[in-house]
Amino acid sequence: MCGIVGILSTTKKDTAVYIYDALTILQHRGQDAAGVVTAHKGRFYMRKSNGLVRNVFRTKHMTQLLGDMGIGHVRYPTAGSSSNAEAQPFYVNSPYGIAFAHNGNLTNTEQLAQELFEQDLRHINTNSDSEILLNVFASELAKLQKQRINEADIFASVKQVHKRVRGAYATIGMIPGYGIFGFRDPNGIRPLILGKRTTKGGTKYMLASESVALSALGYEITQDIKPGEAVVIDRAGNTFIKQCAESPKHSPCIFEFVYFARPDSVIDDISVYKSRLRMGEKLAEKIHKEWGVNDIDVVIPIPDTSRVAALQLAHKLDVRYSEGLIKNRYIARTFIMPGQKQRKKSVRQKLSTIELEFKGKNVLLVDDSIVRGTTSEQIVQMARDAGANKVFFASAAPAVRHPNVYGIDMASNKEFIAHDRDTNQICQAIGADKLIYQDLDDLIWCVQQGNKAITTFDCSCFNGQYVTDDIDKDYLEHVESLRSDLAKEENNIFEASELIGNDVE
């Protein structure tokens, strides 16, 4: 899961600053690395590195990012590794020079890498599937053998990308001297939104992962890019949109609405905020039916993502709501941290209790979901340490039992606390007195009410059904070998040793 943004302006002023601001707004989508590429007079200007947006960019970097268009990226690593070399955007020199940012994860990476080497005669320099996707697009564009390109050439290349590539991809690209473009996979798993801003100096255009990045910077939301669609915006501000997939089927990732997206975003015409309100309502109905409410003294959200659902849940149950857990906003989101040891260490650094809200009370803790259970177990213990009489736990999402292969760090089902456990066993594992999960049908209903034209969602981490129809047991075992916590830890140790060796030399 990553955040991407692209801006094309009619003036050179502040383009990089607007991209920086947009990436800061999208920081919740990736905290591993950040990067910006701009174009000016046919040249790329790039700054990217590991770290948060505010740490990667300084004034000296911003003044060197020249141009009237550019793209940016915040990285959350799933495929590949966490090395500086895999920070985005990527670029290739041929044809024309193309810079590229990608959100998602490809599922036929190894096949594509072999094809690129043997058939397209292209060299891949990293382990990133994003570099592979860029080179597939660049190869298809090069086959047209045109000195000057137009929107039809980009659409034709995207059409070929859809035929060759499997998985999830929302992308933004840039060609110096021509303009920016973006496209979305035929299932629309990852979001991509278009907007514009009219100023005295002219019209500016933006593509971004979430609507909040556009609206916060004064851009008018134009539309969501549909599954399989591509959009091209040339230097003159002409906008072209075309469907490039043969059989698109809208199946957005439901976990965007559960956890990843900001509540003030609207994705595919669905308000994330309203979806989470409905999650709280449905969960309240289930609690009232199965538990009753006589034993619950207070509802406390685990900040921040569960706050909206917890507030509505408390309202529906007519139980007092309290902010009994305080978050340290300088600690990264623990779900997307690399490695179990770091997640465990960060939970108590991230959260602290207000004891008077726990002492002697039966507390209902509400979280958006339970994945590995690391956070849940420690927070339940924190509640007991603060003097809670009983600790109940509610998840606004169903139990996570299957890997996600489309860009969320859920690679190994053996790392999930729900693996080979029923609800009672999970409850015991996290140390709660009671545990309740949202039903999948109810979760789908909560999101679908925002846009009833969407009839399917990717719910693979809950039900094991993959919308790209190319995922089997062998593939999942292969992904686990590459992306489990153990595999990442070994990979990072190797990279560190390589860097030390380079420094010595």
Mean pLDDT, all residues of the chain: 92
Average pLDDT of the segment spanning 408-425: 90
Average pLDDT of the segment spanning 447-465: 97
pLDDT digits (tens, 9 = 90+) for 84-125: 889 999 999 999 999 999 999 999 999 999 999 999 999 999
The residue ranking higher by pLDDT, 489 or 218, is 218
Q: Are the C-beta atoms of residues 179 and 261 closer than 8 Å to each other?
A: no
Q: What is the pLDDT of residue 413?
A: 86
Lowest mean pLDDT among 73-77, 120-124, 144-148, 409-413: 409-413
Q: At what angle are helices 374-385 and 423-430 packed, to 10 degrees?
A: 60
* SS3 category, 13: coil
Q: Are the C-beta atoms of residues 256 and 191 closer than 8 Å to each other?
A: yes
Q: What is the pLDDT of residue 490?
A: 57
Percent of the chain whose pLDDT exceeds 90: 83
CA 433/CA 427 separation, integer angstroms: 7
Indicate if the pLDDT at residue 47 is higher than 80.
Answer: yes
Q: What is the pLDDT of residue 500?
A: 41
Q: Residue 211: CA atoms inside 13 Å, Cβ hemisphere, count?
A: 18
User: Which residues are part of a known binding site for Mg(2+)?
Assistant: 305, 367-368
Q: What is the pLDDT of residue 259?
A: 95
The torsion defined by the Cα of 126, 128, 131 and 135, in degrees rounded to 10, comes to 90
332 confidence band (pLDDT: 50, 70, 90): low
CA 279/CA 28 separation, integer angstroms: 21
Domain 2-249 sits in which CATH superfamily? Answer: Aminohydrolase, N-terminal nucleophile (Ntn) domain (3.60.20.10)
502 confidence band (pLDDT: 50, 70, 90): very low
Residues whose CB is less than 8 angstroms from the CB of residue 90 and which lie 6 or more positions away in sequence, other chains included: 99, 100, 101, 128, 130, 131, 134
Given this chain, do its domains 2-249 and 272-328+347-451 carry the same CATH topology? no
* Range 272-328+347-451 has CATH code 3.40.50.2020: yes
Average pLDDT of the segment spanning 476-484: 82
Q: What is the pLDDT of residue 489?
A: 61
Average pLDDT of the segment spanning 416-427: 96
Residue with tokens 């590459």: 482
491 confidence band (pLDDT: 50, 70, 90): low
482 confidence band (pLDDT: 50, 70, 90): confident
- Residues catalogued as catalytic: 2
User: Domain residue spans in the chain?
Assistant: 2-249, 272-328+347-451
CA 309/CA 436 separation, integer angstroms: 14
Indicate if the pLDDT at residue 499 is higher than 90.
Answer: no
Average pLDDT of the segment spanning 314-336: 84
Q: What is the pLDDT of residue 346?
A: 67
Indicate if the pLDDT at residue 375 is higher than 50.
Answer: yes
Q: Residue 108: CA atoms inside 13 Å, Cβ hemisphere, count?
A: 16
Residues whose CB is less than 8 angstroms from the CB of residue 99 and which lie 6 or more positions away in sequence, other chains included: 37, 39, 44, 46, 71, 89, 90, 91, 173, 174
78 confidence band (pLDDT: 50, 70, 90): low
